[in-house]
A and B are shown apart, each in its own frame.
Chain A
Amino acid sequence: MALPDFVMYEEEYNKLKEVIERLKEESGSKIVFLVDKNGQQIAGAGELGNIDATSLASLTAGNVAATDGLAKLIGEKEFSLLFHEGERDNLHISIVGKRGILVVIFDNKATLGLVRLRVKKASQELEKIFDLIDEKAKKQVGDSENFESPFAEITEDDIDKLFGDI
């Protein structure tokens, strides 16, 4: 298979969350989201209640994937930044490491320059945390004799029950 499953534990989650909370504050933006390139939401900060985070994550990933395809078509490795300007709110989308996408939503209380600056700083920190997550996953694969997946004990019956009321 291409990539192993993406496994995230509480420790790394809290670290990621801390970085994006800080990014939100320091950049004066409304919402910051961290999603993975496959469209899964990893963490968010800000007024999340007003937004459909699942849709946002999948559309962002689609958008980045399409832009990535365009980059390759013209011989670029990637376009690491996407910016969408709206009447009220703006979207700043950037790629973090191999698997992350950072989405910042901000209005006219923040400036694009400041957002870009803070995103750059936060991206470096996030990348380090992603590396930690990867290292942990690799260690577990190497140590597979002692590591038991939390789902090792899932039975056919458990799976059947899941679908009972769908």
Chain B
Amino acid sequence: MAFINHAAKEINCKIVYYGPGLCGKTTNLQYIYTKTAEERKGKMISLATETDRTLYFDFLPIDIGTIHGFKVKFQLYTVPGQVFYNASRKLILKGADGVIFVADSQEERFEANIESLENLQENLIENNLSLDLIPYVLQLNKRDLPNVVPVEELIQELRYKGEPYFEAVAIQGLGVFETFKACAKQVLQTLR
């Protein structure tokens, strides 16, 4: 649910990064944070455990520019990926305008991706949203590792509705902005 503020001439949209534990959701946000000019970003907040695992969410506000006199702002959130934090994941999806699913390309995480995608769909439905309708992008992360599943195989299993997909190495920044832009673009298109 975008917030269109005619008084402040601002559009605020929310994008949520979803995916299994340790797939690189926080890394995506960290890269965007480090590469975005000071005047275009707010503070990045990470509510994490002592071992740097996301406990509740990461949050990064970004200002991407002006369109037809309105300042366009995106609020990027990640969910905690670990299975037992499901209650928190559900809360964070509330009011999302777009979702990015970050898949971990490693063979041993194949099942975890599928479970997380199913979990995403369930939690969207509980928030009266749906993967069929919401702007959605798939990112295949960690493509630099040796034990990755071929792209075609991942796509076959994880691509839900012909959404755009991007190969990524989030830790080096590869594919990070492409993924974000593709999702943000879809979100803005829904405002029309």
Instruction: State the A residues within 8 Å of B (CB).
Output: 1-10, 12-14, 36-40, 42, 52, 54-55, 58-59, 62, 65-66, 68-69, 149-154, 158-159, 161-163, 165-166
Contacts and interface: CB of A to CB of B under 8 A. Distances in A.
B127 A2 contact: yes
A9 B67 CA distance: 18
Contact of A54 (B42, B57, B88): B42
B191 interface: yes
A166 B180 CA distance: 11
Contacts of B68: 150-151, 153-154, 158
A3 B57 CA distance: 22
B34 to A, nearest CB: 13
A13 B6 CA distance: 9
B185 A62 contact: no
A159 B5 contact: no
B177 interface: yes
A105 B17 CA distance: 31
A162 B2 CA distance: 18
Interface residues of B, number: 48
Contact of A5 (B57, B70, B94, B191): B191
Contact of A14 (B7, B72, B88, B129): B7
Contacts of B147: none
Interface of B: 1-8, 11-12, 14, 36, 40, 42-43, 45, 47, 56-57, 59, 61, 64-68, 70, 72, 75, 87-88, 91-92, 94-95, 127-129, 133-134, 177, 181, 184-185, 188-189, 191-192
B188 A154 contact: yes
B61 A8 contact: no
A58 B59 contact: yes
30 contacts: A2-B127, A4-B1, A5-B2, A8-B4, A36-B3, A42-B3, A42-B5, A52-B43, A54-B42, A54-B43, A55-B42, A55-B61, A58-B59, A59-B45, A62-B91, A62-B92, A65-B92, A149-B191, A151-B11, A151-B67, A151-B70, A154-B68, A154-B189, A159-B67, A159-B185, A159-B188, A162-B65, A162-B66, A166-B36, A166-B40
A62 B43 CA distance: 16
